[in-house]
Each structure stands twice: as structure tokens, then as C-alpha cells.
Amino acid sequence: MNPLTILKIGGNVIDNPKALTRFLTTFSMLPDTKLLVHGGGKIATDVAQKLGVETTMIDGRRITDKPMLNVVTMVYGGLVNKQIVSQLQSLECNAIGLTGADAGIIKSTKRPVKDIDYGFVGDISEIDSGRIQAFTREGLVPIFAPITYAETGDLLNTNADTLASAIACDMIYHNDVTLVYCFEKKGVLANPDDETSVINQLTPDQYREHKAADNINKGMIPKLDNAFAALSAGVKRVIICHADEVEAALTGQAGTTLRS
């Protein structure tokens, strides 16, 4: 099967125009079939504040009421997505901006209320990987915003790390998939305060040990949970790296590579 590289970009890179341009320049030059999943949470928070929409976060997760849903749809599916697509077009990368609702590619269900009501947040239920492959066969590079849709017609805010993992898991039936999570850190750190403490290879047992010692915590936990889920499902390689080191990470010279 042909190789496919799926990259997820987020963190402070989206908010930094120079860092984003560097990343997109590298992304545009990757030789294999590729697609991109992006976040944009900080920009959404800034826009919400300007519009007088209150932002509520619980354990790092956004509560998406109807006004906030309107904001994230505008920011993720509009502003951030189209800025990325436009920059890639200028780099002669034929990108197409998508949400999960476009062509019915990614369906989800509204998260049920348990201890917390997250509002209009979607848990992915179905991905049309054949439709994604149809885009890539035509030479298009899909750029996914983290918005999905439900059978009710509602748009739903969906975690971008989860979205990237879910797409990777479905695309294994068509491609040899490499999943790369890119952000502002050099990889998974053994000491969160020491940028030089990159863990070159990480197994599930090591992950559990680092979590127990509180070396890996906060936002890295859901990212790694999604990453290991993809690896367990059959994704060929999963890498976590700095957005400036994608090429080096793909050759094993930078970042953290997950092992089963």
C-alpha cells in the first residue's frame, strides 16, 4: 500500500504566524501523500472574548454551548482553516479545506451528559475513509478543521488530537499510515521543565511509569492516549515532535517515536 502521512498541528504554532509558515513550508514539501488536521483553541478563545462569549474550560476541555459552537465553527472551519489552505496554495500545495460535515466524511454523536455537560461536543462514530482517499487520488491535500456533524444536522466541536487518530485508524485499510503530532515541544519529555529530556522511544509500560511519577501530565495525557490508540489499531508509525523538526522526526533523528 502507498504511504500516507497524517500530521496534526496545534499548540502555540497555530498562534504564531512565523512558526506556522515554517511548518506549512515543510509540510508542503513532504513527498508522500499527506493530510493535515489542525486545532486553533487559543484563537477561538480570543475571538470569543472579543464577541462577549464566555469561555469555560474544565480539565483543559472546552465547554461548547451554542454561542461557543458558533465561535469555534467560524474560527476552526473558517478563519484558521482557510488561512492554512491559502498559505499552502501559495506554496504550490493543492490543499482543500474540510470539516467533517463536508461530503459527509466524519460523523459523530453528541457527547452524553454524565458528570459534566460538555455541550455541542462530538464523539466520532463514523469516517468515510474512501472519500478521503478519493480526494488524495485526485492530488488534493485535505486540511481538516476539528468540526464534525451529527445525523440531527448539528455541527459538533471535536478534539483535534482525537480526530487525527480516528482518521489514521480508518486510513490503514488504504495506506501505510504514519501519524505525526506536531506542537511547540521537542517531543515527550521525561522532565516537563527540561527541553533536552526528550524520550526518544516510548512504550505503553514506560508511559504508565512516567504518568505515575507525574513526569507526563496535563494535556500530554489525552494526546498520548490518542497516539497509542492509533498504534494499537494498526497505524504503522506514531511520532510526537516539534513543528520545526518534522523531517528529522520522520527519519528517527528527532522527537518521540511510540512503540507497542
pLDDT computed for residue 201 by the predictor: 96
Q: Residue 165: CB partners within 8 Å, gap ≥ 6?
A: 179, 226, 227, 229, 230
- Tell whether 41 is in a known binding site: yes
- Tell whether 157 is in a known binding site: yes
pLDDT computed for residue 245 by the predictor: 97
Residue 96 near residue 142, CB atoms below 8 Å: yes
Q: Taking the domains of the chain in order of start, what are their residue ranges?
A: 3-258
Residues 3-258, CATH architecture: 3-Layer(aba) Sandwich (3.40)
Which of these, 241, 239, 244, 242, lies nearest to 259 by C-alpha position? 239
pLDDT computed for residue 175 by the predictor: 95
pLDDT computed for residue 219 by the predictor: 80
Calpha distance 169→159 (Å, rounded):
15
Residue 144 near residue 135, CB atoms below 8 Å: no
Calpha distance 74→63 (Å, rounded):
16
Calpha distance 34→18 (Å, rounded):
22
pLDDT computed for residue 41 by the predictor: 84
Distance of CA 76 to the CA centre of its chain: 12
Please name the residue that has the C-alpha cell 488524495: 136
Tens of pLDDT along the chain (260 residues)? 899 999 999 868 998 999 999 999 999 999 989 999 999 988 999 999 999 999 998 877 889 999 999 999 999 999 999 999 999 999 999 999 999 999 999 999 999 998 899 999 999 999 999 999 999 999 999 999 999 999 999 999 999 999 999 999 999 999 999 999 999 999 999 998 898 999 999 999 999 999 999 989 888 888 899 999 999 999 999 999 999 999 999 999 999 999 98
Residue 259 near residue 202, CB atoms below 8 Å: yes
pLDDT computed for residue 249 by the predictor: 97
- Tally of CA atoms within 13 A in the half-sphere of 219 that contains its CB: 16
pLDDT computed for residue 125 by the predictor: 97
Residue 191 near residue 197, CB atoms below 8 Å: yes
pLDDT computed for residue 164 by the predictor: 97
- Tell whether 40 is in a known binding site: yes
**Mean of pLDDT over the chain:** 95
